[in-house]
Every structure is written in structure tokens, then in C-alpha cells.
Structure 1
Amino acid sequence: MGWLRDWRRRRVLRQSEADAPTWQAACDAQAVLAGLPQADQERLRRLATLFLHEKTFEAAAGLTLTPPMRWRIAAVACLPVLNLGLDWYEGWSAIVVYPGEFMARQDFTDEAGVVHQLRRPLIGEAWERGPVILSWADVLDSETATDGFNVVIHELAHKLDLLNGEANGLPPLHRGMSVRAWADIFTRAYDDFCAHVDAGEDTAIDPYASDSPAEFFAVLSEAFFETPAVLNATYPPVYAQLRAFYRQDPLLRLA
């Protein structure tokens, strides 16, 4: 039924295109979109239009979600799949937006096999086949500077990672990409990064990346789009793998 989906998408694009000022305002608000060529901006606009049509946005804790807010989230959410396509975001439908940090319950099992429940504040979360949850305050903080922090890109990277069934830092790779090469390169970089963090050293990349291979992939995806020169200088082989996966080279437009 791919033809029906494509027909519906073409119909949506004809009927639901953003007016130029709304779309331009959404793009202008995002430092991470600086330098996008006109053709890429137009492709991003089409993806964001479809994203808004196919995903539901839900406001939580009293937040009022306006159309410009939705557009600003959609513009950044579609950047990772700019050259991949919206089908990479299939299997889930909702984005929940809180005004700021929200409390999340997480379960973990200790070495004795006892399951514990923990509640802690988060600014973003991505559930397998469930919603993406975002803090609007941190979405705004992510907009103004390319500092390697972008909660929208981080959580959408988790969604890509989850396409293989679990978040483990290994998303589905394209034909011609080697799983072994990816695993070797990311494992070496992750072990090296964790050693620096464990030694108490300052790192150019957010130390949260040492939490797990899944977080390493998500944080380095943030760095790939926001601070590509830093990532390329720190872990050039990782940058090359992400360039092949995302089919983009932010160094060329953010240099």
C-alpha cells in the first residue's frame, strides 16, 4: 500500500503547505539549520509538513502548544532524516511536550535481581513504539546556539536507534555500510570517552554520552549536527560513520 501512502502525502503537501513567514520563522529560530542550501530547506519543509500531519502533538502540565511551536519542533525533528525520508520515523505517532522538566518513572534490576523503581526529572525521553517526550524550555534552549546540546535531535536519534528493537547505539545501517566497522569504531570511541570521563577530565562532548552505548550514539548525533568540527576533531572515524548513516555532512555548511 505504499502507493496509497505516497498519494496521501502528495495530497497533504498540496493542501497543507506552511505559509512562507511561518516556515521561515521556524527555520530562523534554529541555529542548527544555519547554512542549509535552498534545496535542502525546501525538502526539510516538505518533511516537516508531513511530520506535522502524521504525528500528534500533545501538551502536558498546562502548556499551550501553538502552531509555530509545533513547526519549530518539526523542523529540527526532520533534520536527521533530511536525506533518509520520513519512513524512518514509522512505528510511533505522538510527541508530548511539557513546559519544562518532567518526572519519569524508571525501573532497574540490581545485581541480586531485585527490581527497583526510580523517579527522576528528565528533559526528554523516547519510548520504544511510544511517544517522544520533550521539555519545551529545553527545546528553546537548544535553538539559540550550536553548543552540542539539542534535545529534539537527541530523542529522535534514540527513535532511529530503536528501529532495530532496542536502543544499543546501532541503528539499521544502509546497504554498503559495515555493521562490524560501525561496532568496532563506536566501541573504541566509547571506551576511550568513558576512560576520559572516569578520570574526571573535561571533555568537549557532553559527558552524559558515557552513560551507555545508546546515549553515546544520541549525544554524538547531537554533536554531529551541532558541533561537527568538534566531533570530527575528537573522533574522526565516528564522524565518518555518522556522515554515511545520516547522508549529510554538516561540516560543509557549518564551517
Structure 2
Amino acid sequence: MLTSLTRWFDSRKRERALRRHAIPDALWARTLANLPFLDWLDDAGRARLRDMSSLFLAQKQFSTAHDLELTDEICVAVAAQAALPVLNLGLDFYRGWVGVVIYPGEFVIRKTVEDEDGVVHEIVQDASGEAWEGGPVLLSWEDVRMGSGGDAYNVVIHEFAHKIDMLGGEADGRPPLFKRLHPDLKPQEWADVFDHAYDRFCRRVDGISDRRWQQFAETSLIDPYAADHPSEFFAVCSEALFVTPRPFEAAYPELYRLLARYYRQDPAQVFDPPLAPEID
């Protein structure tokens, strides 16, 4: 009886959120037109993405910096791209924080890093996005608009992949596995496939000469930045999975299949039989 009552209240709460944060048809159509990498979704998938985007807007608090005007266009563009990775996982993967801060362009961040010798350094750098453990996601609106699918770059998917990774603690390239969502995906399999791909990519990056570096950076499907840390490799590969899925599957088939099974989505549409059924 209590479970049924809880579900009834949850359903009513969801319905109210969908009504209150309903996305107008014209705005949703413009959003989809600006995100051609969503074309692989069928009508039912797009409808679910629209609902999840509305629920994301209901749960998160948007703000801007440097006098950028906060518009519905900005909020819906970010919400749609943030909702995509968790479309078949659920918004609970973004629990524990509420803030999304949008800057007009790149912004300066200050952080402390510890080198291999244990020495702590204070660094200042420009950033297009940043995800804080237990805190907000910071995004450059200029870069959000760049993530339309021309190449494997999408700052929203990148930073929200970090948030998924952080669900189990510090981002380390090993996002949490749940039996209900990943019944056939074991930690050892993740380590075998992901760690091998990461190590191989790092060796490839390390082997690039200074003379060939610029060419490699411009032509590599995966940004060389992914070699900085397993968490960056996970985030960058998540971008490739959703934005350029077919080239990614062709170049990294095992890694593509691993991430597709994790996110329970198949943007390149190569799985037979299909992935596990969608969840509510």
C-alpha cells in the first residue's frame, strides 16, 4: 500500500513538472534542428528526450555570468544535451547537486594539482566547461553552440559524463555499475576493455613527434586531451559515442560497445539483438 501511494505521489509530481516546464513546440523544433546528431532517435525516443529535458529543467537551477541573458533557448539547448546520456539511465544519475552556470564564452578557473612528486601547484587556465564534485556544472555558451555534431566535440556531454563518473566518488573513468541497469556488465570487463583502450591511446599520443602534433590534434577522432586522465578519456569518448557514433564504432569497436552497453543506447545502431529495454 505504501509503495503504491509513493508511486502515485511520484507520478503526480512528474506530471506537474512536465506541465510547468513544458517546452514549446517551436523551441523544441529549433533545438533539434541545431543538434543533428539526435537524428538517430526515433519519434518515441525524441518524445522521451523532450520529457526528460523538461524534468531536468524542473530539477536544476540555471544562472549566468558576465551579464549573459538567460533565455529559454540556452536552458533547453543545455537540458536536451544533458538529458541524452541518461535517457535510458534516469535523471537520478544527476542527483546531489542543482546548479548549472552559463558563461558567454571561455572562463578562467583556478585549481590546485598535485604532481607525480607530491608537490601541489596552483594553476590558472581557460576552460569551456567544468564539473565540480557535489557542485555545479559550468559551461561556455559559445562552446555549447559549437557541439552540433560536425566533429566529436560536445562540452555539455563531456561535463555531464564527468557528473556520471562522479556519482561513485572522485572522477576516475570508472562510472558506477548497477545490477538493474547493467546486469551483464561486470567491473572486470570494464577494466579490461576501458583500461586497455586508454593505455593504447596514451601510448599513441606519447609517440607523436612535435612536428606531427598539430596534424594529429586536428585529425584524431578522440581529442589528445583524453590522455590526461582516465576520467577525461571517459568524458571525451562519451562525446564521440553520441556525436560521431559511426566513426567511433569503426575506429574503436570494443570501446564503442562497452560505452553503448553502459549508457544503454546504440547511436551507431550496430547491436543485434538490441540493447536492454528502456526504463521509466
Aligned counterpart for 1:185 among listed residues 177, 185, 193: 193
| Counterpart code for 2:161 | A
**1:102-121 maps to which residues of 2 (within 5 A)?**
102-121=107-126
Once superposed, what is the RMSD of the aligned Cα atoms? Answer: 1.6
Give the distance between the partners of 2:59 and 2:119, measured in 1 at CA: 40
- Corresponding residue of 1:165: 169
Structure 1 length as normaliser, TM-score? 0.94
Aligned counterpart for 1:18 among listed residues 10, 18, 23: 23
**Partners of 1:147 and 1:226 within 8 A in 2:** yes
SS of residue matched to 2:68: coil
Give the distance between the partners of 1:146 and 1:182, measured in 2 at CA: 29
**1:4-43 maps to which residues of 2 (within 5 A)?**
4-43=9-48
Q: 1:166 offset after TM fit, Å?
A: 1.1
**Distance change in 2, residues 1:5/1:131 (3 Å):** farther
For structure 2, which runs of at least 5 residues remain unmatched after alignment? 271-280
- Corresponding residue of 2:207: 199
- Corresponding residue of 1:130: 135
Give the distance between the partners of 1:111 and 1:67, measured in 2 at CA: 45
Identity %: 48
Give the distance between the partners of 2:150 and 2:95, measured in 1 at CA: 28
**Partners of 1:31 and 1:146 within 8 A in 2:** no
**Partners of 1:58 and 1:97 within 8 A in 2:** yes
SS of residue matched to 2:40: coil
* 1:225 maps onto 2:221 in alignment: no
* 1:237 maps onto 2:221 in alignment: no
Which protein is bigger by CA-based radius of gyration? Answer: 2
SS of residue matched to 2:49: helix
For structure 1, which runs of at least 5 residues remain unmatched after alignment? none
Which 4+ runs in 1 deviate beyond 6 A?
A: none
Aligned counterpart for 2:146 among listed residues 129, 136, 141: 141
SS of residue matched to 1:119: strand
Give per-residue Cα distances to partners, 1:71-129, cap 9 Å, x unaligned: 11111110101111111111110100000110001101234543221111000000111
Work out the number of aligned pairs and report it: 252
**Partners of 1:73 and 1:139 within 8 A in 2:** yes
* 1:215 maps onto 2:232 in alignment: yes
Structure 2 length as normaliser, TM-score? 0.86
Q: 1:34 offset after TM fit, Å?
A: 1.8
Give the distance between the partners of 2:19 and 2:68, measured in 1 at CA: 31
Give the distance between the partners of 1:141 and 1:76, measured in 2 at CA: 12
Larger displacement relative to structure 2 (207-216 or 114-123): 114-123
**Partners of 1:92 and 1:130 within 8 A in 2:** yes
- Corresponding residue of 1:251: 268
Aligned counterpart for 1:93 among listed residues 71, 92, 98: 98
SS of residue matched to 1:163: helix
Give per-residue Cα distances to partners, 1:202-236, cap 9 Å, x unaligned: 23311111110000000000000111122212221
